[in-house]
C-alpha cells in the first residue's frame, strides 16, 4: 500500500523542496521505493536540489499530455536504487494540468512505489490544488517566523477543507541561539499556534546550503539537519524517535546556564 | 516568576506570538477589526430593545480557547461582555 505525501507551506522559501528531497532520499536509504514529483510547473527546482538537472528529457506535463510513456519521464537517482524523480515542465504554466489529471497520474504510480512525494509550489492557486489533489498525507513546512506561520495556518485550513485527514508539521530553520535569547519562537510556541502533530524539527544548518550547492541531499549525514531529516523519515515509517533536545522554552535555568557558558567561553578566549 | 514574565514580555518572540494570535483569529474567520465594530453595534442595538446596557464599556472578541468540540477540533467562539445597567420589565 503506497502513501502519497504532499510537502507544502503556503509561503515560498521555507524549505519545501529541501524537505521533499531529503525525505525522499532518506526513505530510499531505508530501502523503500520512492518517487519524487516536482509539482511546481514553471519554476522547477527539485531536479537541481537532487543534482539530476542534466538528465531531464521528458517531464510531468509530457506524461499527462501523452507525449511520452510514464517510465520515460522517471529519472533514476544517481546514488539510490529505488529512488526516482519526475520533473516538472519548466516552460509551461501551472494551469496546463488539472487536479483530475494529477489524481490519475498518481494512481498509475501507486502500484510501483511505496512512497509518492509531491513538492508543492508556493501559493494557494491552481498549482497548490493540483499538488494536493491526490495526497493522503500532507506535511506542512514552516519556519518560526510570523509570515511563514500565518501562511501555514491558511494552508492548514485549505487542506482540511479538501479533506486531507493526516496533516503533520515540520518546523524548519530553527536557531537555538536566538531561542535562548528569546528572539525566536520556540517549537512549543509554534505548536500552540498551529495545533498540528509535530513530525520534525530541523535546525538552521549551513550544511544545507553546501548540500544544495553540490546537488546531494544531506539526509542521514553527520550534520544536525541531516540527522533531523533522517528522524523525520523514521517517523513517517511509524517509528518513535525522540525529538532532538532543543527549542525548549526559555527558563530561568537556561538563561543562567547560557550566561554561564558565555562567560566561560569569553574566559577561554 | 512575575519578575521573569516581566522580562519575557519584552522579547521579540513574545511579541511575534502575541501578534500572530490576534492575526490568525481574524484570518480564520475572515473578519476585520472594522467588521467586528459593525457586529458590536448591531448586537448592542438588538440587546438594547430588551434591557439597558452600557454600550461604551461593552466588549466583543473572537477567541480560540472557548472551544466547542467538533471531531475533537477546537472551534473559535464569539465572546461578548455586555454590562447590564437595568433590566426592563
- Which residues of A fall within a CB distance of 8 Å from B28? 153, 157
* B65 contact A CB<8A: no
Q: How confident is the model at residue B6 (pLDDT cuts 50, 70, 90)?
A: low
User: CB distance B13–A185 less than 8 Å?
Assistant: yes
Residue pair A16/A9 in contact (Cβ under 8 Å)? The answer is yes
Interface mutation vs chain B, best among A151, A177, A183, most B CBs within 10 Å: A183
The DSSP line for A163-224 is: T--EEEEEEEEE-HHHHHTT-S--HHHHHHHH---EEEEEE--HHHHHHHHHT---TTSSSH
* A197 contact B CB<8A: no
> How far apart are the CA of A126 and the nearest CA of chain B, in angstroms?
21
The strand pair at A115-119 and A137-142 is best described as unpaired
* A164 contact B CB<8A: no
Cell of A102: 494529477
User: CB distance B13–A252 less than 8 Å?
Assistant: no
> In B1-89, where do the E strands start and end?
51-53, 59-63, 77-81, 84-87
Top mean-pLDDT range of A109-118, A240-249, B8-17, B22-31: A109-118
* B51 contact A CB<8A: no
The yes/no answer to whether this complex scores an ipTM above 0.85 is no
**Helix, strand, coil percentages for chain B (3-state, nearest 5):** 50, 20, 30
Residue of A nearest to B2 (CA): A252
Enter the DSSP assignment of B73.
B
Residue of A235, A233, A239, A228 whose CA lies nearest to A205: A228
A-B contacts at Cβ under 8 angstroms? 43
* A156 contact B CB<8A: no
**pLDDT surpasses 60 at B65:** no
pLDDT reported for residue A260: 55
Of A149, A154, A182, the CB nearest to B11: A182
**pLDDT surpasses 80 at B32:** no
Q: Which residue has the higher pLDDT, A159 or B59?
A: A159
Q: How far is CA A131 from CA A6, A86, A140, A212, A226, in A?
A: 7, 13, 13, 23, 26
User: CB distance A182–B16 less than 8 Å?
Assistant: no
Residue with cell 482540511: A160
User: CB distance B74–A195 less than 8 Å?
Assistant: yes
Of A150, A154, A184, the CB nearest to B20: A150
> How far apart are the CA of A145 and the nearest CA of chain B, in angstroms?
8
User: CB distance A186–B13 less than 8 Å?
Assistant: yes
pLDDT tens digits for chain A (269 residues)?
A: 799 999 999 999 999 999 999 999 999 999 999 999 999 999 999 999 999 999 999 999 999 999 999 999 999 999 999 999 999 999 998 889 999 999 999 999 999 999 999 999 999 999 999 999 999 999 999 999 999 999 999 999 999 989 999 999 999 999 999 999 999 999 999 999 999 999 999 999 999 999 999 999 999 899 999 999 999 999 999 999 999 765 444 455 555 555 555 555 544 54
**pLDDT surpasses 50 at B1:** no
Residue pair B77/B88 in contact (Cβ under 8 Å)? The answer is no
pLDDT reported for residue B25: 78
pLDDT reported for residue A247: 43
Q: Which residue has the higher pLDDT, A36 or B52?
A: A36
Q: Which residues pair with A198 in a beta bridge?
A: A169
User: CB distance A146–B19 less than 8 Å?
Assistant: yes
CA gap A251, B32 in Å, rounded: 36
Provide φ and ψ at B14, rounded to 5°. -70, -40
User: CB distance B17–A154 less than 8 Å?
Assistant: no
At A115, which helix (H) or strand (E)?
strand A115-119
Amino acid at each position: 500500500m503506497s502513501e502519497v505525501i504532499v510537502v507544502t507551506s503556503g509561503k515560498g522559501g521555507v524549505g519545501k523542496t529541501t524537505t521533499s528531497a531529503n525525505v525522499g532520499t532518506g526513505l530510499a536509504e531505508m530501502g523503500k521505493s520512492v518517487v519524487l514529483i516536482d509539482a511546481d510547473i514553471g519554476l522547477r527546482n527539485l531536479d537541481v536540489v537532487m543534482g539530476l538537472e542534466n538528465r531531464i528529457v521528458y517531464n510531468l506535463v509530457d506524461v499527462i499530455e501523452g507525449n511520452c510513456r510514464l517510465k520515460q519521464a522517471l529519472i533514476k537517482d544517481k546514488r539510490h536504487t529505488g529512488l526516482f524523480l519526475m520533473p516538472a515542465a519548466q516552460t509551461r504554466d501551472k494551469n496546463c494540468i488539472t487536479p483530475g489529471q494529477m489524481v490519475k497520474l498518481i494512481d498509475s504510480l501507486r502500484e510501483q512505489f511505496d512512497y509518492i512525494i509531491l513538492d508543492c509550489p508556493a501559493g494557494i492557486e491552481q498549482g497548490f490544488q493540483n499538488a494536493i489533489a491526490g495526497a493522503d498525507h500532507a506535511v506542512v513546512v514552516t519556519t518560526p517566523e510570523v509570515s511563514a506561520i500565518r501562511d501555514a495556518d491558511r494552508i492548514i485550513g485549505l487542506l482540511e477543507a479538501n479533506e486531507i485527514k493526516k496533516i503533520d508539521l515540520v518546523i524548519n530553520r530553527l536557531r537555538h541561539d536566538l531561542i535562548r535569547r528569546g528572539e525566536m519562537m520556540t517549537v512549543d510556541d509554534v505548536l500552540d499556534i498551529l495545533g498540528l502533530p509535530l513530525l520534525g524539527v530541523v535546525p538552521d544548518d549551513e550544511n544545507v546550503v553546501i548540500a544544495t550547492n553540490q546537488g546531494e541531499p544531506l539526509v542521514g549525514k553527520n550534520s544536525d539537519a541531516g540527522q533531523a531529516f533522517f528522524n523525520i523519515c523514521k517517523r513517517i515509517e511509524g517509528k518513535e524517535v525522540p525529538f532532538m533536545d532543543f527549542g525548549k522554552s526559555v527558563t530561568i535555568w537556561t538563561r543562567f546556564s547560557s550566561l554561564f557558558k558565555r562567560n566561560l567561553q569569553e574566559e577561554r578566549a | 516568576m512575575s519578575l521573569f514574565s516581566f522580562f519575557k514580555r519584552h522579547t521579540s518572540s513574545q511579541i511575534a506570538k502575541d501578534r500572530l494570535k490576534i492575526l490568525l483569529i481574524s484570518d480564520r474567520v475572515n473578519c476585520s477589526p472594522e467588521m467586528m465594530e459593525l457586529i458590536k453595534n448591531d448586537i448592542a442595538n438588538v440587546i438594547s430593545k430588551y434591557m439597558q446596557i452600557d454600550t461604551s464599556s461593552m466588549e466583543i472578541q473572537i477567541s480560540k480557547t472557548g472551544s466547542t468540540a467538533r471531531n475533537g477540533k477546537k472551534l473559535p467562539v464569539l465572546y461578548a461582555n455586555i454590562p447590564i445597567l437595568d433590566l426592563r420589565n
